[in-house]
């Protein structure tokens, strides 16, 4: 790999050019009818084991141990079973609120552990050796070897960092005092704000009442203690349900025992931490009375706990959507994160408002509360409207022969997501390499826009294959390209959708669409569906990809009414 030139494109994107491998079409060995006849090659399970070699050399023998549909069946069974169990608990109002606040985190972690265990069980059954770095994949290593669950690694840190040093506590105390003073000066009719986003700012700009941020980062959060007596039965019931469901998918006896013990231990950790956070909030509120209402963006578990405090005192809780893609994608688990202890939910548009309301009414999303009374409203999105205006002024561009692949990030164990949103990193990297090589084989110059987050810099893996690497903040109106290609819909996808730039979605087939809005999405952004081959790899038809991409580049990609429907009020 050789860096040849660096320059700035527009104002936000840094382009770094590389001398790539020559285009070879589809990388890897030709697929055999029965790839398991020979002794199976070790399966790379995390990115760390790839070393410094070109990744496709390590991945050419990849045979994934688990059929992807098994992930989806396991995850859905866990969500439905654990939600049903949680609803049936009756630990008292405050303990129930603590459990609601943590249900999404608990299910996310338990589902991820089950996915890892399923991979191990399937690999053992197929006599495959799994290859991983214990430092990069400590939970996978623990599951593979077994051990004392009380000493198991943590998958991720869901809460604010705990720092109880005297110096830190003094600094936080001064910040809290200033925040309390601002709240008192603003008066009792103020709006309290948690975790701002674009829609929160839009909502507050139209309200004349003072808005005061609640600096939860400045509270003295403590480590979890023992589970309180009011939650011990909850831990036992959740763990019992988890064991029953995972045993239906995993037949390895030793692995079952490890997974079951982990389920109990992890659930106890989550609820113990949620309880101590609840008590910290309660103590904090003695010095800082509540405002008239609470307005927040993505709440996370602290925002959900705060929501209960406000609702308990008869104060409304307003939440504002983030991103905007969920009007088009029906993420079943998402309701567990967004809707607990919420009265009013603001969407980016009338289209998103209607889609979310219809989804809840039809039981299309998991909910901790069986029948939450949530009012959905639409604000319109000035952020996306400005993107559209900038884009329309740029539509006289000449064709460049370059397409930009906007890559998703790698998650590892630290950020592991539900399998209906993101595939395991190794499967995803294998797909990315194949997609880039296919685009190059179609005659396009391929620039890869790196994801700003994740566990590893994608340039390390993808620069071998791309013509250019784009770093920095993403703005579709400031990056010259004939089209933008996505395989994951997040903030960058919606920002591009809000523009009039040509774009295409390579659908991995793992994330369900909202069928009421899919046809409108296709009018704006053509979709080419991938499949999974006999080795479990994601693959896409080259001719279909080429035809749809060529059509997209020359067509008018902003159908009448689309922008008003999905970015207006």
Assign 122 a pLDDT band (cuts: 50, 70, 90): very high
Three-state DSSP state, 280: helix
Together in a domain, 107 and 122: yes
Together in a domain, 479 and 341: no
Together in a domain, 277 and 298: no
DSSP state of 207: -
Together in a domain, 476 and 403: yes
Asked whether the beta carbons of 160 and 221 are under 8 A apart, the reply is yes
> Phi/psi at 159 (nearest 5 deg)?
-110, 175
> Phi/psi at 5 (nearest 5 deg)?
-160, 145
Helices (H) and strands (E) in the chain, counts: 18, 18
The verdict on residue 535 lying in a domain is yes
In the chain, the number of structural domains is: 3
The verdict on residue 23 lying in a domain is yes
pLDDT (0 to 100) of residue 384: 92
Asked whether the beta carbons of 380 and 567 are under 8 A apart, the reply is yes
For the stretch 264-322, pLDDT in tens is: 999 999 999 999 999 998 888 877 788 999 999 988 899 999 999 999 999 999 999 99
Mean pLDDT of 46-60: 89
Together in a domain, 114 and 263: yes
Together in a domain, 400 and 422: yes
User: How far apart, in Å, are the Cα atoms of 340 and each of 21, 68, 101, 214, 383?
Assistant: 50, 30, 7, 19, 27
Last residue of a domain, one of 339, 358, 380: 380
Assign 4 a pLDDT band (cuts: 50, 70, 90): very low
Residue 552's CATH number = 3.40.50
For residue 531 the two structure tokens come to 């499949």
Tokens 């399966």, residue located: 43
Range of the domain at 398: 3-27+385-567
Last residue of a domain, one of 357, 380, 403: 380
Best CA proximity match to 99, nearest among 268, 245, 244, 243? 268
* CA–CA dist 520, 351 (Å, integer): 11
Mean pLDDT of 355-361: 95
> Phi/psi at 519 (nearest 5 deg)?
-60, -40
pLDDT (0 to 100) of residue 371: 80
The verdict on residue 51 lying in a domain is no
Last residue of a domain, one of 352, 380, 408: 380
Note every long-range contact of 386-394, with CB atoms under 8 Å and residues 24 or more positions apart, other chains counting.
387/475, 387/476, 387/477, 387/495, 387/498, 387/499, 388/498, 388/499, 388/500, 388/563, 388/567, 390/477, 390/499, 391/476, 391/477, 391/498, 391/499, 391/500, 391/501, 392/500, 394/477
The verdict on residue 483 lying in a domain is yes
DSSP element (H, E) containing 8: strand 3-9
Together in a domain, 375 and 389: no
Together in a domain, 482 and 447: yes
The verdict on residue 480 lying in a domain is yes
The verdict on residue 438 lying in a domain is yes
The verdict on residue 39 lying in a domain is no
The verdict on residue 505 lying in a domain is yes
pLDDT (0 to 100) of residue 155: 80
Q: What is the pTM of this model?
A: 0.89
Together in a domain, 420 and 504: yes
**Mean pLDDT (the chain, rounded):** 88
pLDDT (0 to 100) of residue 39: 62
For the stretch 185-222, pLDDT in tens is: 888 899 999 999 999 999 999 999 999 987 777 888 88
Together in a domain, 207 and 240: no
pLDDT (0 to 100) of residue 20: 45
Together in a domain, 363 and 239: no
The residues near 200 (Cβ < 8 Å, ≥ 6 apart) are 193, 295, 296, 297, 320
Together in a domain, 229 and 298: no
pLDDT at 140 exceeding the cut of 60: yes
């Amino acid at each position: 790999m050789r860096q040849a030139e660096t320059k700035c494109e527009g104002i936000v994107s840094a382009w770094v050019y590389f001398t790539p491998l020559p285009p070879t079409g589809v990388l890897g060995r030709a697929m055999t009818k029965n790839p398991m006849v020979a002794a199976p090659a070790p399966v790379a399970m995390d990115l760390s084991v790839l070393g410094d070699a070109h990744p496709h050399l390590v991945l050419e023998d990849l045979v994934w141990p688990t059929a992807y549909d098994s992930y989806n069946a396991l995850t859905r069974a866990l969500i439905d079973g654990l939600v049903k169990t949680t609803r049936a608990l009756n630990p008292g109002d405050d303990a129930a609120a603590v459990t609601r606040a943590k249900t999404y985190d608990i299910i996310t972690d338990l589902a991820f552990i089950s996915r890892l265990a399923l991979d191990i069980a399937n690999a053992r059954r197929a006599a495959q050796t799994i290859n991983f770095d214990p430092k990069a994949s400590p939970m996978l290593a623990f599951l593979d070897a077994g051990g004392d669950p009380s000493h198991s690694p943590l998958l991720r840190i869901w809460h604010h960092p705990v720092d109880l040093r005297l110096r830190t506590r003094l600094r936080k105390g001064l910040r809290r005092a200033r925040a309390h003073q601002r709240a008192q000066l603003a008066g009792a009719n103020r709006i309290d704000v948690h975790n701002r986003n674009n829609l929160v700012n839009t909502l507050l700009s139209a309200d004349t009442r003072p808005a005061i941020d609640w600096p939860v980062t400045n509270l003295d959060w403590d480590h979890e203690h023992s589970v309180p007596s009011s939650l011990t039965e909850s831990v036992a019931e959740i763990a019992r349900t988890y064991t029953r469901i995972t045993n239906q998918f995993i037949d390895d006896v030793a692995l079952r025992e490890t997974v079951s013990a982990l389920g109990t231990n992890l659930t106890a950790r989550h609820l113990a931490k949620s309880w101590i956070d609840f008590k910290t909030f309660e103590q904090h509120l003695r010095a800082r009375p509540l405002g008239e209402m609470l307005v927040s963006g993505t709440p996370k578990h602290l925002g959900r706990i705060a929501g209960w405090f406000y609702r308990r005192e008869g104060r409304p809780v307003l939440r504002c959507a983030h991103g905007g893609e969920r009007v088009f994608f029906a993420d079943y688990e998402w309701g567990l994160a967004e809707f607990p202890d919420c009265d009013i939910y603001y969407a980016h548009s009338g289209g998103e408002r209607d889609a979310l309301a219809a989804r809840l009414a039809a039981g299309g999303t998991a909910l901790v509360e069986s029948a939450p009374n949530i009012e959905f409203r639409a604000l319109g999105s000035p952020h996306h409207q400005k993107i559209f205006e900038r884009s329309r002024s740029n539509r006289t561009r000449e064709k460049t022969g370059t397409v930009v692949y906007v890559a998703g990030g790698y998650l590892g164990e630290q950020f592991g997501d539900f399998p209906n949103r993101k595939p395991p990193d190794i499967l995803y990297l294998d797909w990315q390499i194949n997609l880039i090589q296919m685009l190059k084989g179609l005659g396009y110059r391929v620039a890869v826009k790196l994801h700003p987050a994740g566990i590893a810099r994608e340039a390390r893996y993808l620069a071998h294959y791309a013509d250019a690497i784009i770093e920095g903040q993403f703005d579709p109106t400031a990056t010259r390209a004939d089209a933008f290609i996505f395989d994951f819909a997040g903030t960058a996808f919606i920002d591009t959708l809000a523009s009039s730039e040509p774009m295409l979605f390579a659908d991995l087939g793992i994330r369900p669409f909202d069928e009421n809005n899919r046809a409108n999405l296709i009018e704006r952004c053509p979709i080419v569906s991938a499949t999974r081959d006999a080795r479990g790899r994601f693959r896409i038809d080259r001719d279909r990809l080429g035809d749809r991409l060529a059509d997209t580049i020359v067509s008018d990609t902003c159908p009448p009414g689309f922008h008003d429907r999905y970015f207006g009020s």
